Structure 1
Amino acid sequence: MVEKFDCIVVGAVMAGNAAAYTLGKKGLSVLQLERGEYSGSKNVQGAIMYADMLEKIIPDFRDDAPLERHLIEQRFWMMNEHSHTGMHYRSEAFNEDRPNRYTIIRSQFDKWFSRKVREAGVVLLTETTALELIFDAYGACIGVRTDREGGIVHADVVVLAEGVNGLLGTRAGLRPPPKPETVALAVKEMHFLPQETIEQRFNVKGDEGVVIEAVGTISNGMTGMGFIYTNKECLSVGMGCLVSDFAKAGETPYGLLEKFKAHPSVKPLLEGSEVKEYSAHLIPEGGYKAVPQLCGDGWVVVGDAAQLNNAVHREGSNLAMTSGRMAAEAIFQGKSRKEKMSKANLKRYPDAMEASFVMKDLRKLKDMPALLHTNSRNFFLTYPELVSRAMENYLRVDGTSKREKESATIAAFRKTRGLGGLVTDAFRLARAWR
């Protein structure tokens, strides 16, 4: 193995694979380091993959990628202890030749993506931990030290795709450690059912799929949500909340997941299933204001390590792949012009990100994380209860006049939050959403 590469990529999942593949296809010498046994070995859970972003990297990915179901329906539930108030969107337009969204099982998908990376000429070392970044006398990153014998490897630039809790960047002082209020801990289970049972329960056929996302009393007033993704022969069922909320409330992630699974709206969907896999992982939730500096002399940071996650729209993989690709393209431009991998030259990467949908969307919603985090009981406990009571009151026919019912509903909202509180909550939500 050569001791000097054009680029070292630390991490071999979405962002790291996107960067490594793009660089490899452009003919650069790339070393990719992965501490797991193989790419995706730490990702057993199901997830959503956005086709448009992967298509820009591997246009023909549909030919052999391990895809589960293409999504034709999205459901959103606001839950209390015994009911849910929902809205959903279902469209035959999503049964298109090149579907827009798919469910995937990360262990299978990441392994496939990694194979594509190796086919592009990238050298992959698994079960290898990058311990620290190496800097020259002028403060430029020139490589990494690994846990292998003679483990220092040099490169012109290092791509940090090490995940939200990656230590390389924080140890080197390139970015601060993630704060508990900007990181969520999510747990997931894989519930296996016959394919025909899944299709019957979710009213789909063939490779069609459904996503359910839920908020409300299931999180006990903490900022978080539950979700169900349909795969071909299993359901990905999960629950996630902010790490800071878990610490304050003394709740356990698994306890909340059990509560979600036992809810009357969820339990029938899981009936008879066999749980074969369980996982937990951290998700960046800080939004635009938590994004660190994206590049410096000899280094760039991508994906979850850069806090690139749109928590409001539950988008992560597309941001990760986009950041990996754009970082790689910026590196290639500099290398093709024989430029030093300085911060000034690598700035093409954050400039491209600022002009992309990634930063435009995160900037638009920059105030939403703080609003939800500081008003979690109102948005995740009080309002779901009020909405549920209002819907039950509206639908129950018991001899009470409709005018009396409407008055009782309005009175319940005003009594619980007060007129000022209702107006303030609506104003803050509208301002943060804009």
Structure 2
Amino acid sequence: MTAEKFDVIVVGAGPAGSAAALTMAKEGVDVALIERGETPGAKNVFGGVVYQWPLEELVPNFWEKAPIERRVVDHRLVIMSKESSFTISYRDDYFAQNACGGFTALRTKFDPWLAQKAEEAGALLITGMAVDDVIIENGRVVGVTTGKGRENELYASAIVAADGVLSTVLNKAGIRGPPAPHEVALGVKEIIELPSETIEARFNLKKGVGARLDYLGYVTSGRAGGGFVYTNSNSLSVGVAILLSDLIELKIKPYELLDWFKSHPAVSPLIEGGKVKEYQAHLIPEGGIDSIPPLVSKGVLAVGDAAMLCLYPEGTNMAMASGMLAGRALARAKKLNDFSDSSLFEYQRLMESSYVVREHKRKKRYNEVLRESQRFFNEYPEMITQIMRELLVVDGLEKSVKHQRARETIRDKVGYLRLLKDFYSEVWSVLPW
């Protein structure tokens, strides 16, 4: 029996894998898209926001067809101390009329839709099949196995690893091993059902538009990470993420962090009366540019989380962009009839000139700041909320006295020089913009 062979096998039908398969199928590449879940999205988790780019390049006018939940018009950054919070908000109804402000989405709907687009373009989608090993010949990966026996072998001229942080393909190929605990965050999330009218009233929204709230500070016990609340049509996506190394050191369970977050005064009124529909957990790449493995090696192209590409909050964007660029490089290889690594290195060149890698280079100290500058998650939130409480309490003291106390708080908590340095450079590594 002759084993089946494709031009390319894509392992993982998340946003990165489906973007790669869709791009190649449009160009006539014979591509198989393999997903371990019974349906795409069944085994996948993301925070819940997608953007115009690069999705519009993959599916023009996608907002007319995609299963998006709400157009995001309200962006809020909530800085939390243990008992209080300070919110920075930007609302722009321009985003309700245009596709550039972001969209909330649920992967159980979004992933099947994007995979279907790849199918419609000509890709073969295979679900309910987990890749457990790779086939190596002459130092090159030439296929994958989904079980014992030759009938479970699939061959291809190239492989796309889109199988997540703990990539089986990259691990079995000897390209990279499991990431270190400080290179990944553990994200836990609940989908909480609420009537659409309740969501719109609580978040001051019109029908069809939404809000995204990002939380920074005590939400992760003063360690690197954050929380979020995103509005869907009839539910809220509520979650927290914390570096795995910090979670291990704190010796707490992730759901305990989530429960505390949900009980905070800045969150609990928003979710009151809601019913938990789903609970999800997921490892998120947080190592920054130093954690990115070889993008092309041994006939394998790494994309999305498998390539450790993620800068909050654009992990899904970067996953789809990397998949799209990998697809373009592989379509070129097909036309040239050259799937050698030197030909596939076109993917590396495309990535180097792309927004994805340029942004990772701009935030080259991302992981270092997360691990070593934890004052952004403890001292600063406490300082800001302490100052705001002092300034807003009317107790007969002159404002000049309160201003002096605020200056003393800054001096005692972090110091003026540290404050200037942090807000000149370091802060851009932790803010979601």
Q: Where on the TM-score scale, by shorter chain, does this alignment land: which range?
A: over 0.9
Using the TM superposition, give the Cα deviation of residue 45 of structure 1 relative to its aligned residue in structure 2, in angstroms: 6.2
Cα 1:158–1:302 shift into 2, 3 Å: same
Corresponding position of 2:117: 116
Corresponding position of 2:390: 393
Using the TM superposition, give the Cα deviation of residue 167 of structure 1 relative to its aligned residue in structure 2, in angstroms: 2.2
Using the TM superposition, give the Cα deviation of residue 428 of structure 1 relative to its aligned residue in structure 2, in angstroms: 5.7
Cα 1:259–1:294 shift into 2, 3 Å: same
| Amino acid of the structure 2 residue aligned with 1:370 | E
Distance 2:116 2:309 in 1: 25
Distance 1:98 1:246 in 2: 37
Corresponding position of 2:158: 157
Gaps of 5+ in 1: none
Using the TM superposition, give the Cα deviation of residue 370 of structure 1 relative to its aligned residue in structure 2, in angstroms: 0.4
Corresponding position of 1:180: 181
Distance 2:88 2:109 in 1: 32
**CA offset digits 1:327-367 (Å, max 9, x no partner):** 0110111110122x122111111111111111111100111
Q: Percent identity?
A: 40
Corresponding position of 1:224: 225
Determine if the alignment matches structure 1 residue 402 to structure 2 residue 399.
yes
Using the TM superposition, give the Cα deviation of residue 297 of structure 1 relative to its aligned residue in structure 2, in angstroms: 3.4
Matches within 5 A, 1:342-381: 342-376=340-374, 378-381=375-378
Distance 1:244 1:202 in 2: 34
Cα 1:266–1:252 shift into 2, 3 Å: same
Distance 2:39 2:93 in 1: 38
Aligned residue for 2:414, secondary structure, equals helix
**CA offset digits 1:111-140 (Å, max 9, x no partner):** 111222222222222221212221222x12
Determine if the alignment matches structure 1 residue 285 to structure 2 residue 286.
yes
Check conservation: 2:80, 2:219, Cα contact below 8 A: yes
Cα 1:98–1:415 shift into 2, 3 Å: closer
Distance 1:411 1:78 in 2: 20
Corresponding position of 1:256: 257
Check conservation: 1:133, 1:141, Cα contact below 8 A: yes
Cα 1:44–1:367 shift into 2, 3 Å: closer
Corresponding position of 2:295: 294
Once the two structures are overlaid, the 10-residue window that deviates more, 315-324 or 91-100, is 91-100
Cα 1:210–1:423 shift into 2, 3 Å: closer
Provide the TM-score with structure 1 as the length reference. Answer: 0.94
Distance 1:251 1:97 in 2: 42
Using the TM superposition, give the Cα deviation of residue 190 of structure 1 relative to its aligned residue in structure 2, in angstroms: 0.9
Cα 1:398–1:248 shift into 2, 3 Å: same
Corresponding position of 2:327: 328
| Amino acid of the structure 2 residue aligned with 1:360 | R
Matches within 5 A, 1:240-279: 240-279=241-280
Distance 2:201 2:348 in 1: 46
Query: In the comparison of the two structures, how many residue pairs are matched?
Result: 429
Corresponding position of 1:145: 145
Provide the TM-score with structure 2 as the length reference. Answer: 0.95
| Amino acid of the structure 2 residue aligned with 1:429 | E
Once the two structures are overlaid, the 10-residue window that deviates more, 119-128 or 392-401, is 119-128
Distance 2:278 2:46 in 1: 8
Distance 1:241 1:430 in 2: 18
Once the two structures are overlaid, the 10-residue window that deviates more, 206-215 or 51-60, is 51-60
| Amino acid of the structure 1 residue aligned with 2:349 | D
Distance 1:233 1:422 in 2: 41
Using the TM superposition, give the Cα deviation of residue 430 of structure 1 relative to its aligned residue in structure 2, in angstroms: 6.2
**CA offset digits 1:9-32 (Å, max 9, x no partner):** 000110000011111121111112
Using the TM superposition, give the Cα deviation of residue 82 of structure 1 relative to its aligned residue in structure 2, in angstroms: 2.0
Distance 2:56 2:191 in 1: 27
**CA offset digits 1:169-213 (Å, max 9, x no partner):** 023211232111010101111111111111111111121100000
**CA offset digits 1:258-300 (Å, max 9, x no partner):** 1111111211111111111111111101111211110023210
Corresponding position of 1:198: 199
Distance 1:222 1:432 in 2: 15
Using the TM superposition, give the Cα deviation of residue 425 of structure 1 relative to its aligned residue in structure 2, in angstroms: 4.2
Corresponding position of 1:132: 133
Aligned residue for 1:300, secondary structure, equals strand
Check conservation: 1:371, 1:428, Cα contact below 8 A: no
Corresponding position of 2:316: 317
Distance 1:100 1:424 in 2: 30
Distance 2:379 2:217 in 1: 8
Determine if the alignment matches structure 1 residue 61 to structure 2 residue 58.
no
Gaps of 5+ in 2: none
Once the two structures are overlaid, the 10-residue window that deviates more, 420-429 or 149-158, is 420-429
Using the TM superposition, give the Cα deviation of residue 2 of structure 1 relative to its aligned residue in structure 2, in angstroms: 6.3
Distance 1:54 1:102 in 2: 11
Distance 2:421 2:318 in 1: 32
Check conservation: 1:45, 1:189, Cα contact below 8 A: no
